Chain A
Amino acid sequence: MSGWRLPSGGAIDRARPLGFTFDGRQFEGFAGDTLASALLASGTRILGRSFKYHRPRGLWGMGGEEPNAIIDVTDAGVTTPNLRATLVPLRAGLEARSVNASPTAERDCWAVLDLLHRFLPAGFYYKTFMAPDWMRWEPSIRRMAGLGRLDPGNRPPADAVPMNARADLLVIGAGPAGLAAARAAARNGRAVWLVEEAPAIGGALRWRGGAIEGADWEAFAADTAQTVEAAGGRVMTDTTLWGAFDHGLYAAWERRAGRGDRHWRIRAGEVVLAAGALERPLWFANNDLPGVMSAEAGLHYLSLYGVAAGRRVLVACANDAPYAVAGALAEAGAQVTLADARADTPEAPEGVRLLRGARISRARGTREVGAADVDGAHLDVDTILCSGGWTPTVHLFCQAGGKLDLDARRDALVPRPGTAPMQVAGAANGAFGLQAALDEGHRAGGGTGPAPRAAAAADWAVMPMRPDPASGGRQWIDLQNDVTFKDVKLAAQEGFRSVEHLKRYTTLGMATDQGRTANFAGLAALAAVTGRSVEETGTTTYRPPFAPVPFPVIAGPRRGELFNPPRRLPLEPAHRDLGARWRDYGGWLRPATYGEGDEAALAQAEALEARQAAGLYDASSLGKIEVIGPGAAALVDFCNYVRMSTLEPGRARYGFMLSESGVVHDDGVVLRLAEDRFLVSASSSHTASVRLMLEEARQDRFDPRQVFVHDVTAHWTTLTVTGPGARELILGAGIAEEVAALRFMRVAETAWRGVPLRAARVSFTGDLSYELSVPARHGGMLMQALDGARAAVGACWIGLEALMILRAEKGFVLVGKDTDGVTMPQDLGWTGPREKRTDEYLGRRALFTPEARRADRRQLVGLEAEGEALPVGAHAVPLEGQRRSLGFVTSSHMSPVLGRPIALALVEAGNDRLGQEVGIFHLGETRRARIVPACSYDPEGTRRDG
């Protein structure tokens, strides 16, 4: 209980107290507080438990780098797990809970694990939980692992708004460098977007203060914001720029209190990264105890929230920056000792006891800091503020492909110019110090003339600090993942010398903070124990997001009906009126069955009725791609396995489209409507890709002025009538005799009731079928007419479930279901074109590779079995000998017309096995099935013409 609130000072409103709870206890803060500052002011030290050993952990930092104070927060009824207390604005009634602790962070029953730490080194899990098998251990370990808890009943509102924007110049970070860059660019008339993660612009100036251009920094910041907005730019606070992507795309998460957050996709012409730097910890024994904090954070809380981190404070460092911290705390009334590892130091701030050339070796205490050892001396302190140097925030630079170099003078990895499409300025570029930041920002913004002048111009001197191999006790390198210096040494000893392997073996740099405070120390430690330089050791890969972004922000409004958009049939309302039940088939919402009751039974009844009388179904989703022009025949020929140029106008032919690898990509009928006009009918789910394949071939292989491709799928409504009563039904609907008299695989373009009608005698059921298409606006009229005529022939509407039965009875394939990623046309029994066509066509060459010629390729066959339908996906296995997969069931149904199960399967050398029995292995049980031809119903095709 050491933090305390000053009676005055800070940017909080002491007239507006706000009550909140933490781990069930009631606290009070003020408007303007963050959850972290309010808890610090309350004297609460233990805010969480460490990931592995459940050690007590307290507040370390002041922003997104915070590794310890990870909190589940319920605010206004919405629970969000794993928030950083440093970034949560305090609100009245807010409920906060610590993570990874039971029941509370203060009294965590799993703290006993820390007593066993000697037996739980890095890699413990990998070595220990191999026997008897990982699956046995996994549930328990998963229950214990992780940080925050998701509440399954939690429904965050889908109110985050996606936004697209373009920025002439994007400046990331509104500290001194970012302000200088934005001001310089805006003065040159550029439209600048200035994006800042914090609630206000100014960066470290907000707590360090300073004079710029002879006035308080706030005047400079206000002038900059005004200049930016006057030039057509935008200043955004509370906005985290979380990802840099290809082609100048940046993603930003804007938090808006009381309104939905916004998720920005910003296309930037140029970018200046001025994201500052993060303070590193120092490495000494027990450097993870609550009460050990970043020195800069100490000043941050003091200046902005009027909170002192402790009463007896040790500031440990090896650079100039914490001197201001020590001075401010002393002025606030704390007893401050400053231990600087350097012999040559600045003067001690007033009221501060300065120890030159002094190093901290140990923090003492069990649950929080109670003392410290400095050069062997025991100091009675309650708080240790430390500064081990500065790590430039280069994440976005590296996400954009940038490389880093070690700047030995500043002891930091800094951006290598020209390796990423952005400029880096200020502390992010290793320029520590106000004037240096202003100079670099001004230059990056294209400023002419002198840069803004700061009152304090000196750059900060930094002495490199590293973990001490000789030190006793545990020196924590990664606070969030409980990785110590010994763990790094152990990993190196066990051969994990690559930094990427180190990360995965020890978990260093993983989880929600991604090692912001840990990575440099980890690299330096690995470099030291492997005898390499930091540069030789390298860094791990930087990937988005820079900071955790809530899923509701990324998902935006796309939930429920907006989640995954299936395409919709024009006649959907009419099908609903008929009692249709819906499913997503190939990206289209289509009727599965009609009416109430068991879906499987409905499908059986529909299929049987279609065989006995007639069935109607909506085929509007089938792709309709027109290929037009003098070069149409050649293009369609090239893109199809089956030659189409020999078709006469008014005729149709079934065929396949192959990929370049010879694999069946789609199947369908091609209709020749005129000498120079074809209609390619694609599967519902393949229309877009078929169009692209046609378009690619058109542009790359043919004279693109002689042939064109139009996808007109959405213009048409197509209804199909199938079954022995189909002819009678369409005549009853008033469709012309000439249509009813069409022969198989013929097509006619005619008119019906004054509207265009295209009729095709093609069949996906094996029965007499008519595919009737009218412009979508007339689809209702066609549907009404057909529906009115169906009673006379005893016809019914059938859904896709029934249609699947009908086509499977005939052995007609569904590409993607009855084929897989290696199925070639010869595997489906279509060998003719492969053997006879000598001209070039898409995929041809791949059909003659050794792989394509293998005798044991899986071929499409049918399966006969007794009893229930065979399970789809079950493997065919030999009935004798060693069990191995010969293939698998691709489609399986109970055939209502045959009264037995039917199935299609891809089976190794299936055609050679016709008549043989195989086992169908599923969930430990094997059933017998006989391999038969794929077509199990009307193999002679007698029903085709009614």
Chain B
Amino acid sequence: MTYNRLPAAELYPILGIMRASDLLHPRPEGLYCPPGDFFIDPVRPVDRALITHGHSDHARSGHRSVLATRQTLDIMGLRYGENFAGTTQAAQLGETIALNGISVSFHPAGHVLGSAQISVEHQGARIVASGDYKRQRDATCAPFEPIPCDVFITEATFGLPVFRHPPDTEEIARLLKSAAQFPERSHLVGAYALGKAQRVMRLLRDAGYDRPLYIHGALAKLSEYYQSQGIDLGTLEPATVESGGKDDFTGAIVVGPPSAFADRWARRFPDPISCFASGWMRIRQRAKQGGVELPLIISDHADWDELTATIKETGAEEIWVTHGREEALVRWCELEGIAARPLHLVGYEDEGD
């Protein structure tokens, strides 16, 4: 690590009478608030969990009580069954909830449907945990709202200057161009089941694509839920052999989880072109290694420019960097004169991308 090691007194500025690390700090189970006695996105079962969004590395089953947005709770119910937690409580966006004298509020993160940042406030000091977030417009979820705070806990999935996501509309235009160029083939779009898949479908609709979209079974329940929340994805058909022979998928666009395309499942499609919608597709070698013919750089995480702009926008005096490439973002903060440190939380992957 190359960032400066500041003396403890400077590294943890006094917030009121309390240090920030007394309000929130990492424990093996996840980010813990001792005075409030709750965890944010714990990776192991705990008594009280506050959940930012429904991706499985953030939202796990088996907690005694869960506080999250209505949509995140619904999504957890779809993924884990109705009894995923002892009790649940829905948080309204922007509404303040008191937990053992700590003020907690949820704010849109723009990551996937239901995703929220969690603000934790005590004695005039505020820490905002971003969860995962992005700044590019996304018709399938509420846009990110910057919340002024003292400490901003940012994700860093794409925390390197090489990650710069192009406008998603350009990426979808490339997909449609390819579909027109190769009408005798099918296009298989790998996209994670929660969020990315629905966003890709919605982008196709917004670009005027009105043929049925074929989806892998793993996407069915979540896509139906998105539709029930007023996000129009148009006609979705199951990509099953029963729905037709090989010829019926000629020229089709099929959406499914990336793992399915390397599987025998993919054999039902005629001469498929494999596409993958992910921020990782920015790196050519990644696409090449995965055998991806048409990489679509569509990400639900902030890219480098969004990360750095957001850090500035929150006005935070201190940045804690978590899951991803912490070192580059810490280095950038150092160059900008903003105190920053990696949080070293364990157990988070990049499922959302």
Does A pair with B?
A: no
Q: B residues engaging A (CB < 8 A)?
A: none
